[in-house]
Structure 1
Amino acid sequence: MPTPPVTGPLCTRGSLAEDLRELGVRPGETLLVHSSLKSLGWVCGGPVAVVQAFLDTLGETGTLVVPAHSGDNSDPAHWRRPPVPEEWWKEIRAAMPAYDPLTTPSRGVGVIPEAVRTWPGALRSAHPQTSFAAIGPGAARITRGHALDCLLGERSPLARLEDADARVLLLGAGYDSCTSFHLAEYRVPGPRAEASFAATTPEGRRWMTIRDTSITSERFDELGADFERDKPEEVVRGTVGAAACRLFPVREAVAYAERWLPIHRPREE
C-alpha cells in the first residue's frame, strides 16, 4: 500500500499560539482544555509543541488544566472494550497497580493531556480514575483535595475551576467531551453508583469500592448544542490550525446544564 500524503495545515508552536490568541485565549486565565491532536493538522513537534503554544499564550500567570483520567483502573467486571474472562477478575483486582499521580498514565483523553501530565512542574489530582493535571500558578489550588468518593463533583477540580472563573476550550473535541457538564449532574437529583479502583492509602495499596453520583455523558452533545444556541454570547467559536473550537466559561456551562438536565434527561434516584 502506498503511504498516504500528510494532511495539513502545517502547525507550529508559533502558529498555534497565534491562533489561540486570535480565538480569545487570554494571558493569566485558567483554561481547561479537551483536545484532539489530529484535528489540528500536521503539528511540527506534536503534543509538546501544542503544550508550549498554550503556555506561551497563557503566560507565566496563566494555568493550563487537562483531564488526566485513568479509567482502566476499574473493576474488570465492567470492561467491554474488550472484556476479559470472568476467571481473571479476582486476580486483576488483586494485582492492579495502585494509582500514582506521577506514574499512572492517562487513558482515553488523547496525547496532549499525557504531555501535560508529564510536563516538568505539573501537578495532578488524587482520584484514581478521574484526575486532572495542571501547569501554572493555580495548579495546586485546582488539583488539591480531590476526594476518592467524588469523581467529578464538589470535591473535584471541576468545582475549583468553577470557583476560579476558568474557561473551557474544546479543541477539535465535541461537547460530549465536556467534563464540566458532569458537575451539574451532582446538583440535580439522580441515581448513585459504585466505582472500584486500586488506591494508595496510608495503610498501603487497597482495592476500594465507593458510592458516588452516577455520571454519564449521554446527550451531552445535545446539551452543548442547546447551550450554544441559547447562550451564543457565552460561546466563542473559531479555529486553531484546522481544529474547530469552542471557548466558554465553566460557570455558565454548568449553570445551564443544571437547568437543562432535569428537563431533557431526567433520571430516577
Structure 2
Amino acid sequence: MNEIGKAELVRQLRELGVEAGDILLVHTAFRAVRPIEGGPLGLIAALHEALGSEGTLVMPSWSGNDDEVFDRASSPVTSDLGVTADMFWRLPGVRRSDHVHAFAGVGPAAEAIVADPLPLPPHIPASPVGRVHDRDGKILLLGTDHSSNTTLHLAELLADVPYRTTSTSTILEHGVPRRIDYGENNHCCVRFALADDWLRDAGLQREGRVGHAQARLMRSRDLVRLALEHLAKDRLLFLHRPEEACAECDEARASIPAG
C-alpha cells in the first residue's frame, strides 16, 4: 500500500466532518491506518491540524493494570488502546487524568475534560467521556468500530442498566496502596455494533477513509440520545441472549438483582 501524507490525512479528516474548534474523542487502531507519513505521530499531527488551535483532541489513556497504583507520568496505556494512544499522552502539553480510568487531552477544553477524580463506574457523567458529551464533542472511530466506543457505556449508565460485575483497582490512599472493588457495567460490547444502524438510519454518522482505515464520525450527544431511546425499550439490549453463550454477557446477566 502507498504511504499517505499529512496533507492528504488532513483533507480526509475534514471531508469526513472534523472541523476546526471541535472537541474530538478518538479511538484508533493504527494498524488499520498505516502506512502514513510520520507513523502514529504523523496521525496525531494531522488530527491537530484538522482541529486547529481552538480544537481539543482526547484519547483513552488507561493502563489496564489493576495490581499497581496508576501514575499519570509513567504508567503506559494498555496494549488494547494501541500505539497512537500510548504516544499521545507522552507528548508535550498533553494533560492526563490522575486515575486508573484515565483519558488524555490537549487543547482549550482538555483540562476540564480530564480533571475529574476517579469515576466509579468509569463512564459516569462526571468522567472524561461525560465531559466530552457535555461539551457536544464528536467521536472518531478510526480503524475500529463501536465495540471500542466507550461513550455507549455512558449511555448505559444514564439508562440505569441493572447489571454490574465486580472490578478491582489499586488506589493510593494517604500514601498507602489499597485495593478497591466496585460495580462496573461490563460485558463483551459486541452488540454495541447496533449503533451503526441507528446512526446511519438517522443520517448522523459520517463514514469514509482516513489513511487506509475505515472511519466513523458522530456527535456524542446524537449517539447517547439514540442509545437511550433504544435502551428505554430494553435495558438488556447490549447483552447477548443466554442461548448465545457469551461468558461476559452471562456474567453481566447473573449480576442483576433478583426480582
Please state which band the TM-score falls in when normalised by the shorter chain: 0.7 to 0.9
Query: What is the CA–CA distance in structure 1 between the aligned matches of 2:56 and 2:102, rounded to whole Å?
Result: 16
Q: Aligned letter for 1:204?
A: G
CA shift for structure 1 position 177 = 0.7
Q: Give structure 1 stretches of 5+ with no counterpart.
A: 1-7, 75-95
Q: Match of 2:201?
A: 230
CA shift for structure 1 position 145 = 1.1
Deviation track 1:168-207 (CA, whole Å, cap 9, x = no partner) reads: 0111111111111000111223122332222233x11422
Query: What is the CA–CA distance in structure 1 between the aligned matches of 2:110 and 2:224, rounded to whole Å?
Result: 21
Paired residues, what number? 237
SS at match of 1:246: strand
Query: What is the CA–CA distance in structure 1 between the aligned matches of 2:188 and 2:219, rounded to whole Å?
Result: 19
5 Å matches for 1:177-188?
A: 177-187=148-158, 188=160
Deviation track 1:116-173 (CA, whole Å, cap 9, x = no partner) reads: 1111011111331x21110111100100114243311122111101111000011111
Deviation track 1:77-135 (CA, whole Å, cap 9, x = no partner) reads: xxxxxxxxxxxxxxxxxxx431111111101111111121111011111331x211101
Query: What is the CA–CA distance in structure 2 between the aligned matches of 1:30 and 1:117, rounded to whole Å?
Result: 17
Q: Match of 1:10?
A: 3
Match of 2:12 among 7, 19, 22: 19
5 Å matches for 1:204-219?
A: 204-219=175-190
Asked if 1:169 is matched to 2:162, the reply is no
Contact 1:175/1:224 (<8 A) preserved: yes
CA shift for structure 1 position 217 = 4.3
CA shift for structure 1 position 210 = 3.2
Query: What is the CA–CA distance in structure 2 between the aligned matches of 1:143 and 1:212, rounded to whole Å?
Result: 22
Asked if 1:41 is matched to 2:10, the reply is no
Contact 2:141/2:216 (<8 A) preserved: yes
Asked if 1:258 is matched to 2:212, the reply is no
Please report the TM-score for the alignment, with normalisation by the length of structure 2: 0.85
CA shift for structure 1 position 56 = 0.9
Q: Match of 1:112?
A: 84
Contact 1:101/1:125 (<8 A) preserved: yes
SS at match of 1:101: coil
CA 1:170–1:258: 2 relative to 1, 3 Å: same
Query: What is the CA–CA distance in structure 2 between the aligned matches of 1:265 and 1:237, rounded to whole Å?
Result: 23
Query: What is the CA–CA distance in structure 1 between the aligned matches of 2:193 and 2:15, rounded to whole Å?
Result: 27
Moved over 4 A (4+): none
Query: What is the CA–CA distance in structure 1 between the aligned matches of 2:131 and 2:191, rounded to whole Å?
Result: 21
CA 1:53–1:28: 2 relative to 1, 3 Å: same
Q: Match of 1:241?
A: 211
Deviation track 1:65-85 (CA, whole Å, cap 9, x = no partner) reads: 0111221x22xxxxxxxxxxx
Contact 2:191/2:238 (<8 A) preserved: no
SS at match of 1:118: coil
Match of 2:171 among 192, 195, 199: 199
Please, which moves more after superposition, 177-186 or 210-219? 210-219
Q: Give structure 2 stretches of 5+ with no counterpart.
A: 240-252
Q: Match of 1:123?
A: 95
Please, which moves more after superposition, 190-199 or 15-24? 190-199
CA 1:99–1:241: 2 relative to 1, 3 Å: same
Asked if 1:54 is matched to 2:24, the reply is no
Please, which moves more after superposition, 11-20 or 45-54? 11-20
Q: Aligned letter for 1:26?
A: E
SS at match of 1:43: coil
Query: What is the CA–CA distance in structure 2 between the aligned matches of 1:154 and 1:68, rounded to whole Å?
Result: 18
CA 1:148–1:183: 2 relative to 1, 3 Å: closer
Q: Match of 1:152?
A: 123
